Structure 1
Amino acid sequence: MFVMAILTIDVLKNLIENIPDDYTVEYNKEVTIAPIDDTVEIDISGKRLIFK
């Protein structure tokens, strides 16, 4: 069973602030691993930050 959760801004800030400088932030989608800065969408009306 796959469970998704909402990542709050406070938790995201805490994670980002504590990532060592030599790490990259990436996402894993099926068989592709790509840098997080590849596609980031900000949905202003929906108040969402979406990593694709």
Structure 2
Amino acid sequence: MVKRKEEDLKRISNILVADAYFSRKPFVDKVIESGLTLVSKLASNAVLRYRYTGE
């Protein structure tokens, strides 16, 4: 849905707000690919991981 409506969404805003249900990797990846910024609450069972590139 995000990919289909990408241009319409960008005309309104480059920020997409979504419920915690949508804060899953496949959805987040599609939002990022479309060039939008996602603002979302994380699900209560979310596992946060990050990579330290070390400089």
User: Scaled by the length of structure 2, what TM-score is found?
Assistant: 0.29
- Structure ranking higher on relative contact order (CA contacts 8 Å, 6+ apart): 2
Structure ranking higher in helix proportion: 2
User: Scaled by the length of structure 1, what TM-score is found?
Assistant: 0.30
Structure ranking higher in strand proportion: 1
